[in-house]
Amino acid sequence: MGTKANLKVDQGSDFSTAINLTDDDGDALNLAGYTGEAQIRKYYTSTTSYNFDVDITANTGQITLSLTANTTNNITAGRYVYDLEITDSGGVVSRVLEGIITITPGVTR
């Protein structure tokens, strides 16, 4: 099970957040060879999804999730679910982050 973190995103704005993965001793995980995928959906069973850009800095254990202003502008304001999965070079998939993401409506057009 991934760490739970709820996020808030302003509709029509760029968004970015970073997480740092560490081992039990607090040392940064080496994420060399890992890939990541993260999506937003209205419900867990929704067929429509929005993809985060996922950037992994291998030697620091940092993963950055980002959305462009164009993407956030195309998401209807409201509550959604999201998660982040990483895959190691052997194909093992791990969910490292999940939660509720709230898209707050914009006024300026």
The residue ranges of every structural domain in the chain are 3-104
Question: pTM of the predicted model, to two decimals?
Answer: 0.92
Contacts 24+ apart (CB under 8 A), 46-51: 50/74, 50/75
| CA proximity to 64, closest of 29, 21, 28, 17 | 17
- Structure confidence at residue 108 (pLDDT): 76
Average pLDDT over residues 38-56: 97
- Structure confidence at residue 106 (pLDDT): 82
CA 78 to CA 28: how far, in whole Å?
34
80-98 confidence digits (pLDDT tens): 999 999 999 999 999 999 9
Does 2 have pLDDT greater than 80?
A: no
- C-alpha torsion sign, points 59, 62, 67, 69: negative
Percent of the chain with pLDDT over 70: 98
Residue 63 CA: distances (Å) to CA of 73, 75, 102? 23, 23, 20
Would you identify the CATH topology of the domain 3-104? Answer: Immunoglobulin-like (2.60.40)
